[in-house]
Structure 1
């Protein structure tokens, strides 16, 4: 090769790059977290020697996972610092362990892991405490930490409530109720009600605990007495509100007489306030299921637990249209598929109805299942059924074409037109009871919605409503008896004039005068009731007070709409005088200005309000 060619080849060939003078400075070692994950992935399921384990390196230090090196040692690692780092075993040059260490995960996330001796966790804990964003000082750890924290919170809040009770300007009025859980455990809840220093009504839960033993009055009184003494309010107890169970009468007599030996049986009865909502519940239950509603409920529950379906259906069917509707709703809601089929049928019916121009859709509304315990569930079941009456009827008719009898509604449960009339009347009868229940439950506001005076006026309203319907049944029964007598005598039947004008009857009755023959007689559950003449209704309501406590009279008299009637009628005037005397005696005994000067007491004025100069110095 010529010299010229040799030079050309040398020039054309690329020259090799020189070796790097410094190593690449931009590289960063893998974090401990990534190396730890890789070591776990490569670990064997059996005990391994140190030579078989994947090494974790940081700088000149080498580690292996401590739990893999000695699996028995991992069982004892229960310290909470393990949630914020890793336990590693550091290796010497000869691959023997020099001891366990703990690596902080929070520091590793920042690219600068720190290592601490794991023989004692105090240094690791101190390190975590120093981290400004680590709330370890506020969060306890341990098996009993949550329990202790709750106990500390309870103690703190209980002290605050106790201070409120001590500063209350009124007595502490309590209410209690018992409840049985689905797993058959009895519980009792006790609330306290009072007026605070800012003249605001306050309510506090004092206890929700197991009721051990029987539901006898003495046993309940023992529980309530322990609760009020625990809160330190046993000398400030006012009245007690509870339901109408006879055991509560025994309970409160025992409760008050043990708190204060000077309290007589009459005093205990005066402090016993009966729950108005429970009274309304008893009224509705008696109307729907008869006088022994509790037995009906227990029988239905027994059939359910024993899975005796047919007996339970027949049990409800005996209650007439309401029971038949219960069985229909139960049939529809028996499975998700049947419920969805009913909804699909309702949508088809709605789309096929060309006469509905603008009306809210009801296709997606579900039928409501009632139960024997809560009467208002029966009212809501009937209300929803009346809204979906046409859909229910057509759905039942379509099911009647099924070849399988189990897919059809039993013939005994199919509602006739007369049954629907009865359901509509039942709905109208129960509606005021439902509205009154909803109005008076919860906290009393703006002088109403649960205040004491509404109890008396509410009872008067419900009684008047039920009497109107009772008179309707009596009129229909009298007319039917007259027709039967004329038919037996061979006389030509003529329309019998109503004994009462139609305008005096409930609105729904004026809308539909014609009634089925079997509904023209008074229902058996309403027979035997003594109907009070209308002109004595208010006297009856006041004298049939739901408690012997004169406090109901105090709530009723100032707002009574027929004060003139009470003054004019001799019997009512006597009741009025007795009521005022009872209120005066109660206030003189328990609301005197002070214990040393009992002769100077609060007089019961016509408005039954305390004198201004006394209101600030006495406990209400």
Structure 2
């Protein structure tokens, strides 16, 4: 089992290190949880916020074991309420594989055609002659996929479908190719016109998930803030494909969308920090999250999800304020107003009045709302001049 640590250093640079790579006695959740705890203790790591693992049931048990063992550590936040992050790339993998399983025969026939060409230099030479006869311009080399890795299946299909005419020509000109697909065993038929049509549709679908998976798998940049945007993008793309005039494309999009929604409908599967990361982004805030929820869910579910996000944000803020007030004293509302709202006090516009009222609200609400007030920057510009909110000073008190 591999344990990798991610953190932001004092220069605000994202760091990543593999801190343990060891064999575990078994795959039971309790065993995995105890191992992770012991490794953290060995390294003297006391500050853990989240732990990302794939969607295996044993990992759920492992996380619960780790929560129980570490919840009383000094620097643990809210008793590890937000510890468990399910690997988004792994979830997408499950969704895609489930969808492809229903079309395995077409993919297998295409795979067998590629396997034949790549099995010997003579066969590859015969195929290249067919490519020349068909005057195909693509220069990419055929690649064989790993059947259990859908991303490699996407790469195989993305290249192979461009050579459809060459494979058809090979069936006409190469007797050995024709005899190889003699139909004597399962899926030993060559790809049909319908299979090639499906291959092109698969490429359209898989490209959506492939590009998102690449973003989720990045290790040189923070990924928590892109999760929500990419999930919404997938949903929108599938909805657009469902509206396609191509019945086959539309049906496949509908099936994939149902599988996609089946997972994301359960709010317990999602760590709400991934939503809060968007709320804290001044370009989007809560209004954007609420809009996206309205596209993903019905009204009741949308309202429920917004409530969960706000509750999680308020919990985190209250915890942050409590911890920092112990060292730095209580928050001085008037000091922050003097330092950070320069330029608004003399304005008579409604925007300025709104800002003044917002600052005069309840102490906790006024500070946490800095993150979720809709169009705050735009409102402040309308008030007369741009106001730079020093959130660090606000939060430190």
TM-score (norm 2): 0.71
What corresponds to 1:271 in structure 2? 83
Tell me if 1:419 matches 2:195: yes
| In structure 1, C-alpha distance between the alignment counterparts of 2:257 and 2:272, rounded to whole Å | 30
**Matches for 1:91-102 after TM superposition, within 5 Å:** none
CA pair 587-610 structure 1, distance change in 2 beyond 3 A: farther
| In structure 2, C-alpha distance between the alignment counterparts of 1:605 and 1:423, rounded to whole Å | 49
| In structure 2, C-alpha distance between the alignment counterparts of 1:456 and 1:277, rounded to whole Å | 13
CA pair 269-413 structure 1, distance change in 2 beyond 3 A: farther
Give the SS at the match of 2:5.
Answer: strand
**Matches for 1:520-535 after TM superposition, within 5 Å:** 522=251, 526=255, 529=258
CA pair 350-418 structure 1, distance change in 2 beyond 3 A: closer
What corresponds to 2:66 in structure 1? 255
Which of 182, 195, 200 aligns to 1:410? It is 182
What corresponds to 1:319 in structure 2? 104
Which of 46, 51, 74 aligns to 1:240? It is 51
Gap runs ≥5 in structure 1? 1-187, 291-317, 473-504, 533-539
What corresponds to 2:169 in structure 1? 394
Give the SS at the match of 1:529.
Answer: helix
Which of 314, 318, 328 aligns to 1:584? It is 314
The answer to whether the Cα contact below 8 Å between 1:238 and 1:271 also exists between their aligned partners in 2 is yes
What corresponds to 2:240 in structure 1? 468
Which of 250, 267, 275 aligns to 1:553? It is 275
The answer to whether the Cα contact below 8 Å between 2:3 and 2:18 also exists between their aligned partners in 1 is yes
What corresponds to 1:332 in structure 2? 117
CA pair 284-591 structure 1, distance change in 2 beyond 3 A: farther
Query: How much does 1:527 deviate?
Result: 8.9
What corresponds to 1:222 in structure 2? 34
| In structure 2, C-alpha distance between the alignment counterparts of 1:285 and 1:387, rounded to whole Å | 23
What corresponds to 2:150 in structure 1? 375
Query: How much does 1:548 deviate?
Result: 4.3
Q: Which has the higher contact order (CA 8 A, sep 6+)?
A: 2
What corresponds to 2:393 in structure 1? 613
| In structure 1, C-alpha distance between the alignment counterparts of 2:260 and 2:11, rounded to whole Å | 47
Which of 211, 231, 237 aligns to 1:435? It is 211
Give the RMSD, CA atoms, in angstroms. Answer: 3.9
Can you list the C-alpha shifts for 1:110-159, whole angstroms capped at 9, x where unaligned? xxxxxxxxxxxxxxxxxxxxxxxxxxxxxxxxxxxxxxxxxxxxxxxxxx
The answer to whether the Cα contact below 8 Å between 2:72 and 2:79 also exists between their aligned partners in 1 is no
Can you list the C-alpha shifts for 1:358-394, whole angstroms capped at 9, x where unaligned? x7453xx442212232111111111111121111222
Greater strand share, structure number: 1
CA pair 554-246 structure 1, distance change in 2 beyond 3 A: same
Greater helix share, structure number: 2
Which of 9, 13, 28 aligns to 1:196? It is 9
Query: How much does 1:529 deviate?
Result: 3.4
Query: How much does 1:284 deviate?
Result: 1.2
The answer to whether the Cα contact below 8 Å between 1:396 and 1:409 also exists between their aligned partners in 2 is no
Query: How much does 1:432 deviate?
Result: 0.9
| In structure 2, C-alpha distance between the alignment counterparts of 1:348 and 1:256, rounded to whole Å | 62
| In structure 2, C-alpha distance between the alignment counterparts of 1:541 and 1:373, rounded to whole Å | 21
The answer to whether the Cα contact below 8 Å between 1:272 and 1:547 also exists between their aligned partners in 2 is no
Number of equivalenced pairs: 334
Tell me which structure has the larger Cα radius of gyration: 1
The answer to whether the Cα contact below 8 Å between 2:238 and 2:253 also exists between their aligned partners in 1 is no
| In structure 2, C-alpha distance between the alignment counterparts of 1:616 and 1:393, rounded to whole Å | 69
The answer to whether the Cα contact below 8 Å between 1:191 and 1:205 also exists between their aligned partners in 2 is yes
Query: How much does 1:267 deviate?
Result: 4.2
Give the SS at the match of 2:181.
Answer: coil
